[in-house]
């Protein structure tokens, strides 16, 4: 979901003495299936069983604000909390895992329980995206992309194979997310959501996947030998 950001040329006007006014080409229009793509800087708001949320400040440093009802828990990545109401309780837990110790996964988690307000943010400058699970699907999430989830979400740490571990940029182990609820993911930089139709293919440079619920393969797309691939920086996708 995180391909390199495409720059859109701004409209410009040039005018000289005795010369007609010139105008740059129109901005290209991008549209999804049956609807226009909403602004990526607009606040994203919603509700869940036991609370509500708002994703704001997306043009600077994105913040997730959650309102929790009495007794409603929320699980978050350790160190993600930037502020909270004094009525919110925090409980940390640790579960040792050899594979997490080897590859650098989080062995601890923070659970916040309402009532009150909770503010979360990613460790680095980037966006936050919302994934809603209905209990019948499974998502794969990079080990650094997980931010928080509501009650009912199940997170497991599983291997994705040696080949993908070496060249995909996502590491040997990724989170497998299932259950019913809301998942918040983050990344370094903007996040673009791409919905694929049946049998549709889409190329993403390695290291730019945030979360996915479909199969993917690694392919070499640049031509001209190893040297040109290294210069192009697009050898594997």
- pLDDT, tens digit only, all 237 positions of the chain: 544 444 444 444 444 444 444 444 454 444 444 444 455 678 899 999 999 999 998 877 899 999 999 999 999 999 899 999 999 999 875 554 555 445 445 557 899 999 999 999 998 888 999 999 998 999 988 878 999 999 999 988 776 655 454 444 455 578 889 999 999 999 888 888 888 888 888 888 777 888 888 876 655 555 555 444 444 555 555
pLDDT at 217: 67
Q: How far apart are CA 222 and CA 232, in angstroms?
A: 8
Q: Which of 160, 233, 198, 203 is nearest to 2 (CA)?
A: 203
pLDDT at 35: 42
pLDDT at 221: 58
pLDDT at 156: 86
pLDDT at 59: 74
pLDDT at 201: 85
pLDDT at 93: 55
Q: Which of 70, 75, 55 is nearest to 152 (CA)?
A: 75
pLDDT at 171: 53
In CATH terms, is domain 44-187+202-232 a member of 3.40.190.10? no
Is residue 161 left, alpha or beta, with left meaning phi > 0 and alpha meaning psi from -120 to 50? left
pTM for the predicted model, two decimal places: 0.70
Question: Rounded to the nearest 5°, which phi and psi values hold at 187?
Answer: -155, 170
pLDDT at 9: 43
Cis peptide before 115 (omega within 30 of 0): yes
Q: What is the end-to-end Cα distance of the chain in Å, rounded?
A: 13
Give me the residue label for tokens 């994934």: 131
On whether the CB atoms of residues 161 and 215 are closer than 8 A, the answer is: no
pLDDT at 106: 53
Strand partners, 65: 54, 119
């Amino acid at each position: 979901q995180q391909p390199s950001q495409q720059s859109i040329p701004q409209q410009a006007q040039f005018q000289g003495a005795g010369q007609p006014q010139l105008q740059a080409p129109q901005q290209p229009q991008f549209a999804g299936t049956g609807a226009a793509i909403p602004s990526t800087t607009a606040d994203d708001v919603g509700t869940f069983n036991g609370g509500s949320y708002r994703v704001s400040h997306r043009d600077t440093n994105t913040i997730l604000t959650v309102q929790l009802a009495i007794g409603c828990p929320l699980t978050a990545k350790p160190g993600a909390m930037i502020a909270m109401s004094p009525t919110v309780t925090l409980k940390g837990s640790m579960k040792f895992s050899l594979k997490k110790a080897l590859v650098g996964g989080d062995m601890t988690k923070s659970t916040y329980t309402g009532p009150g307000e909770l503010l979360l943010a990613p460790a680095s400058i980037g966006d936050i995206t919302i994934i809603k699970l209905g209990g019948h699907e499974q998502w794969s999430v990079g080990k650094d992309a997980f931010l928080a989830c509501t009650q009912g979400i199940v997170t497991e740490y599983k291997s994705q194979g040696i080949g993908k571990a070496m060249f995909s940029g996502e590491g040997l182990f990724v989170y497998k997310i299932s259950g019913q609820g809301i998942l918040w993911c983050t990344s370094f930089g903007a996040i673009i959501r791409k919905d694929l139709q049946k049998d549709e293919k889409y190329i993403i440079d390695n290291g730019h996947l945030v979360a996915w619920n479909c199969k993917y393969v690694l392919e070499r797309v640049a031509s001209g030998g190893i040297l040109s691939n290294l210069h192009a920086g697009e050898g594997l996708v």
